[in-house]
Structure 1
Amino acid sequence: MFKFNSLLVFILSFLIFSCGSNNGNKKSDFSLQIDQNKSKFKLNDELKASILNEKNKQIDSVSFYLGEQFLKTARSTDYNLNLQNVRLGNQNLRAIIFYENTSDTLSKNIQILNTEAPKLYTYEIVNSYPHDISSYTQGLEFHEGTLYESIGQYGKSKLRKVDLKSGDVLKEVELDDQYFAEGLTILNNRLFLLTWKEGEGFIYNLDTFEKTGTFGYNQSEEGWGLCNNGEQIFKSDGTERIWILDPETLAETDYIQPTTHKSVATKFNELEWVNGKIYANTYTYPSVAIINPENGAIEGLINFKDLNKQVTQHDKLDVLNGIAYNPDTDKLYVTGKNWDKIFEVKIVEK
């Protein structure tokens, strides 16, 4: 995972600007040019850039960054930047020019796409289990063999502990009417629950369902889905970003952008961690993306078309939403909003 220390970034930025950066209102003496004015690249491409120095300033060195990720430092005016091991999506290429005891920062917005199209998958139904037909499912997750579910809508939002085989509710807590429950995840005996537009999430004691704290969203726009890899928490907000959260403070420290070979994707809702990948359903579509958490590459797409035809049809039947992976049994389960079944499924490559 590409990590950066926010304090270190702040200190370096302070040093750069305090030594006389030409940023601000003063026009730069330099300009950053990309060969053929390209703005779209593929992972592992070589980006050719140059610094135009019309006033012939004495350049000491130029350091290139993609977002906060360091690429290289050199002394020439022409640069070949290899886009290996970088994050995909909409990125900001920065060149920090050090010259004559001062510095200047230039930037260009570029887009980096994956090299390969996502692999396509379909599904086979292995088994089905009863599910509360009134549950507007938002989050679904196994922990130590037990299923936990969050249910949305204003005035109807709940957090539940559920027996998979019978569908019985083992424990339940209702949210106040002003909250719309969204995704959940469980880490270190704490259950984290998002709300939709209310700008905060809730922390519960896993055993008692007692609410022990709250957390804010900082930069993300809304609360959609959550999952974790045992060390970090991942959060979707309906935009092109999946945020990476500190598991202790819940601060949004970084993000990835789910990206195919053609475009940057949005509207990822329910998230689930499955064998080192993030599984994410696209809201209102019967599909689940398989996302590389290191760089955001969408490596696969699972088509769950017609699965909704296997449940009781009624006027409140809604979209696929709810992915739960049981690591103890290596089994994957999916359901939907107001579906009366949870399905154990086998994923099959087309």
Structure 2
Amino acid sequence: MSLPSRLAVALLGASSLVVACGASSSTPAPEASTQARPAAVATAAPAVESYGYEIIKSHPHDPASFTQGLTIADGQLYEGTGLHGQSSLKRVDLQTGAALQRIELDSKYFGEGIAVVGDRIVQLTYQTGVGFVYDRKTFAKLKEFTYSGEGWGLTYDGQRLIMSDGSDTLRFWNPETQEEIGRLRVRDGDRAIERINELEYVDGALYANIWQEDRIARIDPKTGVVTAWIDMSNLLTATERSRGVDVLNGIAHDPKTGNFLITGKLWPWVFEVKFVRRG
């Protein structure tokens, strides 16, 4: 995302209390027992895992692409880009970085995240509250829809579209109607995780770029709990960073290899990586 406008939202907790009923009023109350009760055992939350990465290969990436969404479907790489007057949806040749297929958005739209849903592609826009549904094969626009707030990242879990808006909250949409069906706040312990950006759903886990951070959060989409942090720092050299690149943004999983494709806005490379557990 290019601009932060976020509200920090307190996380709600829930607890339950079970109360045992005493005897009837006609029965004398027993004397208090002097025997010590066993202490309650606290259950520690699972530790948040830490990962680094191993670069498998570096692929060329169009350095003019302000990457807002990245995903692979049936071996095809799709990319959504942003900026007014430069926003697009592309099918990209991973080996060369060239666009094999492309559609431009009207200059009033700032393109955002994308998701493949069967034979369609869904794309968000930033602050106009308008999304598009395209035919995946022809890129013909099939539908426009509206939503409240900002659009940032988008992915599909096989049943629902999952959308981020730059806050600490994920929204769940019906993939056919794009109607909102739920929300979930994301947290690491008692800390809200804001600025959630590009998303990728893989094997029951949600991977998320955090705007302006060189790390990826792995999130449990059932609970909103961060289960791992993946350190992606130093992918670019100091010289490459000095050439006006923007932030890390772009996660695509290749189910054929198990590897992830990682890039950023205006980056010269798409990095094919494996995540490596630390500790």
TM-score tier (shorter): 0.7 to 0.9
Residues 212, 232 of structure 1: CA spacing in aligned structure 2 closer, same or farther, 3 A cutoff?
Answer: same
Name whichever structure is richer in helix by fraction: 1
Q: Which runs of 5+ in 2 are unaligned?
A: 1-9, 20-43
> Which of 115, 139, 163 matches 2:93?
163
1:133 paired to 2:63: yes
Residues 41, 147 of structure 1: CA spacing in aligned structure 2 closer, same or farther, 3 A cutoff?
Answer: closer
Residues 310, 245 of structure 1: CA spacing in aligned structure 2 closer, same or farther, 3 A cutoff?
Answer: farther
Q: Which gives a bigger RCO, structure 1 or 2 (Cα 8 Å, sep 6+)?
A: 2
1:308 paired to 2:257: no
1:150-183 CA-to-partner distances (Å, cap 9, x unmatched) read 1110111111000111212100111111100000
Match in the other structure for 1:186: 116
Residues 207, 310 of structure 1: CA spacing in aligned structure 2 closer, same or farther, 3 A cutoff?
Answer: farther
Partners of 2:255 and 2:276 lie apart in 1 by: 19
Partners of 2:192 and 2:82 lie apart in 1 by: 27
Partners of 1:241 and 1:126 lie apart in 2 by: 33
Deviation at 1:117, TM superposition (A): 4.0
> Which of 261, 267, 272 matches 1:339?
267
> Which of 22, 44, 51 matches 1:121?
51
Answer with 326-335 or 309-318: which moved more: 309-318
> Which of 202, 207, 211 matches 2:132?
202
> Secondary structure at 2:154's aligned position in 1?
strand
Partners of 1:308 and 1:217 lie apart in 2 by: 35
Instruction: Decide whether the 8 Å contact of 2:134 with 2:141 is kept in 1.
Output: yes
Instruction: Decide whether the 8 Å contact of 1:137 with 1:150 is kept in 2.
Output: yes
1:260 paired to 2:218: no
2:269 is matched by which residue type in structure 1? K
Residues 40, 296 of structure 1: CA spacing in aligned structure 2 closer, same or farther, 3 A cutoff?
Answer: closer
Aligned residues: 245
1:180 is matched by which residue type in structure 2? F
1:151 is matched by which residue type in structure 2? T
1:294 is matched by which residue type in structure 2? K
CA RMSD across the alignment = 2.0
1:317 paired to 2:250: no
1:201-258 CA-to-partner distances (Å, cap 9, x unmatched) read 111011111111011114xx21000001111110000111110100111011101111
Partners of 1:162 and 1:41 lie apart in 2 by: 42
1:186 is matched by which residue type in structure 2? V
Match in the other structure for 2:6: none
Match in the other structure for 1:174: 104
1:147 paired to 2:77: yes
Residues 284, 215 of structure 1: CA spacing in aligned structure 2 closer, same or farther, 3 A cutoff?
Answer: same
Partners of 1:166 and 1:282 lie apart in 2 by: 27
1:328 is matched by which residue type in structure 2? K
Instruction: Decide whether the 8 Å contact of 1:224 with 1:235 is kept in 2.
Output: yes
> Secondary structure at 1:271's aligned position in 2?
strand
Match in the other structure for 1:26: none
Partners of 2:79 and 2:94 lie apart in 1 by: 11
Residues 311, 116 of structure 1: CA spacing in aligned structure 2 closer, same or farther, 3 A cutoff?
Answer: farther
Partners of 2:137 and 2:110 lie apart in 1 by: 23
Match in the other structure for 1:283: 211
Match in the other structure for 1:72: none
Match in the other structure for 2:3: none
Residues 281, 40 of structure 1: CA spacing in aligned structure 2 closer, same or farther, 3 A cutoff?
Answer: closer
2:56 is matched by which residue type in structure 1? V
1:273 is matched by which residue type in structure 2? Y
1:169-201 CA-to-partner distances (Å, cap 9, x unmatched) read 100111111100000000021100000000011
Instruction: Decide whether the 8 Å contact of 1:116 with 1:261 is kept in 2.
Output: no
> Secondary structure at 1:307's aligned position in 2?
coil
